[in-house]
């Protein structure tokens, strides 16, 4: 029986705590008597019969006819699936998307459906490579569909393959993939790694264009999403749900399939990274020491390659299919079951170790903007109720924060970092003065469509992702980061955790309370 998450009060007997630092980690001692550590629940038991559970979900959906009843000869069927940003790290084969898509295709074949397209719903993310597509959907599906042009990446900049469906009562334009919009049935295959994922966000974001996305991927929306991990208090989700209504009203039938995974993310011998420190065995401690020493002598590129090649053993804890709303409600309950941790009250200082990966640097570089996004966008927002850190408090992250960018994946990030952040770090000013230039830049558009580049506007969205946190906290300190890069982000560099805690007292006073978010694995703090 997996143990639930809990909050540890640090005392003199508490061993040093694990902090991720990009492609590495450190053990840090935090002050006893005023520090607490939030641990997520242990990985839930997976479903035993994955394929059987998937098939059952398709045949017994919620709030919908069974999938076979929606399939008929001569119909247009489109299967969209979450892109390379999920799950993290990538899961061992077979990927859960492959299993679901194969099950859907089996039913489609039984129903005599021939016209099937499979689309990676990547919105403004980079295109998936052949290897990544094969990993997600499996070789059998890839070989059956890709050569004939029926398995491909969504292109949010292809005007000939986008459909404008109308606008919401709030004036939000809804424009999505034309094939999906014009299909008799759109099956969306989702992975819900965090509570933010899924629901109408799948279609209204994953298959949308910039024209549509700009209505919710903006500073105002993000600052009114408290947090975007809590759908009912997230303006991001309200907007997506309004768009979902437009999609439905336009006659698009969506059959939503949402899967959830457990948090068993580290393969052996790195399983100790998910353990509570006092439960480390002598072997775990030895592995930690050996790994840390080896990593110190390893060049950055090699370290990156080692970590990025890691495949997680995480397994499916459930799958639900049917109508979007009903499905998503059940999915969110399962995500909460895996990740929710009750936490009493806020803290003065929130500490977090930033790992080597986030949704936007798979097989790539965790550049400074993504460090910010992971810390202030994702980790800060891993709350329900109130932020873990009080208003005006301090966030301390640990990460090397190299001034380093992947030139193919993140070309517009380089310009954003060098040109925009050199001018201002204020999200509202950035949005007003620079977003349009980047979003409509022909070169970025070309690279997004033909290479493997994130869209020109994507670094802006990353910056907006942190807008709520930037508005809320008084100071951000990065321990161990390249000082120039950290300052460019508008944050304060610190050499050690002790230095950072000392610096933080300027903002929150002497003897502040500290909370360490012990993640990954992912968790969601239910702050009461």
To the nearest whole angstrom, how small is the minimum distance from the Cβ of residue 437 to other proteins?
A: 7
To the nearest whole angstrom, how small is the minimum distance from the Cβ of residue 493 to other proteins?
A: 17
Tell me the β-bridge partners of 326: none
* CB contact burial 152-176 (16+ within 10 A = b; e otherwise): bbbbbbeeebbbebebbeeebbbbb
Q: For other proteins, give the closer residue by CB, 63 or 418.
A: 418
Give the separation between CA 307 and CA 4, rounded to whole angstroms.
Answer: 28
Tell me the β-bridge partners of 27: 18
Alpha carbon distances (Å) from 320 to 225, 262, 275: 26, 15, 30
Q: For other proteins, give the closer residue by CB, 228 or 405.
A: 405
Q: For other proteins, give the closer residue by CB, 279 or 442.
A: 442
Q: For other proteins, give the closer residue by CB, 264 or 441.
A: 441
To the nearest whole angstrom, how small is the minimum distance from the Cβ of residue 434 to other proteins?
A: 10
DSSP string, 259-282: EEE-S--PPTTGGGGGS-GGG--H
Helix locations, 31-92, DSSP H:
50-59, 67-70
| Strand (E) or helix (H) holding 96 | helix 96-110
Structure tokens at 110: 């039984």
The residues that touch other proteins, with contacts defined as CB under 8 A, are: 414-415, 418-419, 422, 437-438, 441-443, 446
Strand 185-192's sheet: what is its strand order? 151-153, 115-121, 76-82, 185-192, 254-261, 316-322
Give the separation between CA 441 and CA 523, rounded to whole angstroms.
Answer: 37
To the nearest whole angstrom, how small is the minimum distance from the Cβ of residue 422 to other proteins?
A: 7
Q: For other proteins, give the closer residue by CB, 237 or 488.
A: 488
To the nearest whole angstrom, how small is the minimum distance from the Cβ of residue 415 to other proteins?
A: 5
To the nearest whole angstrom, how small is the minimum distance from the Cβ of residue 462 to other proteins?
A: 18
Q: For other proteins, give the closer residue by CB, 411 or 512.
A: 411
Q: For other proteins, give the closer residue by CB, 170 or 419.
A: 419
To the nearest whole angstrom, how small is the minimum distance from the Cβ of residue 465 to other proteins?
A: 22
Q: For other proteins, give the closer residue by CB, 272 or 463.
A: 463
Give the separation between CA 461 and CA 447, rounded to whole angstroms.
Answer: 18
**φ, ψ for residue 323, nearest 5 deg:** -75, 145
Q: For other proteins, give the closer residue by CB, 380 or 405.
A: 405
To the nearest whole angstrom, how small is the minimum distance from the Cβ of residue 432 to other proteins?
A: 16
To the nearest whole angstrom, how small is the minimum distance from the Cβ of residue 368 to other proteins?
A: 15
Nearest to 314 by CA among 263, 362, 273: 263
Using an 8 Å Cβ cutoff, are 350 and 515 in contact? yes
Using an 8 Å Cβ cutoff, are 247 and 204 in contact? yes
């Amino acid at each position: 029986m997996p143990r639930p998450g809990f909050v540890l009060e640090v005392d003199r007997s508490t061993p040093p705590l694990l902090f991720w630092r990009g492609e590495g980690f450190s053990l840090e001692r935090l002050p006893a008597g005023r520090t607490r550590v939030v641990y997520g629940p242990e990985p839930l038991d997976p479903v035993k019969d994955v394929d059987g559970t998937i098939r059952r979900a398709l045949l017994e959906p919620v709030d919908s006819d069974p999938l076979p009843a929606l399939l008929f000869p001569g119909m247009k069927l489109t299967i969209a699936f979450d892109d390379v940003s999920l799950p993290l790290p990538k899961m061992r084969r077979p990927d859960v998307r492959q299993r679901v898509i194969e099950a859907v295709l089996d039913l489609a074949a039984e129903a005599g459906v021939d016209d099937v397209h499979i689309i990676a719903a990547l919105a403004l993310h980079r295109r998936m490579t052949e290897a990544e597509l094969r990993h997600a959907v499996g070789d059998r599906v890839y070989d059956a569909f890709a050569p004939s042009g029926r398995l491909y990446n969504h292109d949010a900049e292809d005007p000939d393959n986008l459909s404008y469906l109308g606008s919401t009562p709030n004036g939000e334009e809804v424009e999505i993939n034309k094939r999906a919009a014009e299909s008799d049935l759109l099956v969306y295959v989702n992975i819900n790694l965090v509570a933010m994922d899924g629901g109408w966000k799948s279609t209204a974001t994953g298959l949308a264009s910039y024209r549509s996305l700009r209505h919710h991927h903006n500073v105002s929306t993000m600052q009114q999403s408290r947090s975007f991990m809590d759908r009912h208090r997230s303006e991001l989700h309200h907007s997506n749900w309004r768009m979902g209504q437009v999609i439905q009203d336009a006659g698009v039938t969506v059959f939503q399939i949402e899967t959830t995974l457990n948090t068993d993310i580290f393969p052996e011998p790195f399983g100790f990274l998910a353990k509570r420190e006092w439960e480390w065995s002598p072997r775990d401690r030895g592995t930690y020491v050996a790994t840390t020493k080896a990593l110190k002598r390893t060049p950055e590129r090699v370290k990156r390659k080692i970590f990025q090649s890691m495949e997680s053993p995480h397994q499916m804890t459930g799958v639900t299919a049917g109508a979007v709303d009903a499905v998503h409600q059940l999915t969110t309950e399962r995500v909460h079951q895996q990740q929710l941790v009750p936490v009493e009250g806020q803290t003065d200082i929130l500490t977090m170790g930033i790992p080597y990966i986030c949704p936007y640097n798979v097989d790539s570089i965790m550049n400074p903007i993504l460090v910010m996004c992971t810390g202030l966008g994702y980790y800060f927002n891993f709350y329900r109720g109130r932020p873990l850190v009080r208003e005006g408090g301090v966030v301390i992250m640990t990460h090397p924060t190299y001034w380093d960018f992947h030139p193919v994946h993140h070309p517009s990030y380089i310009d954003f970092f060098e040109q925009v952040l050199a001018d201002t770090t204020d999200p509202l000013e950035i949005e007003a003065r620079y977003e349009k230039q980047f979003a409509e830049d022909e070169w970025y558009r070309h690279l997004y469509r033909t290479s493997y580049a994130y869209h020109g506007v994507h670094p802006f969205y990353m910056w907006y992702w942190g807008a709520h946190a930037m508005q809320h906290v008084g100071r951000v300190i990065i321990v161990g980061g390249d000082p120039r890069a950290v300052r460019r982000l508008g944050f304060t560099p610190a050499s050690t955790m002790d230095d950072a805690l000392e610096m933080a007292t300027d903002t929150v006073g002497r003897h502040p309370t500290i909370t360490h978010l012990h993640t990954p694995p992912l968790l969601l703090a239910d702050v009461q």
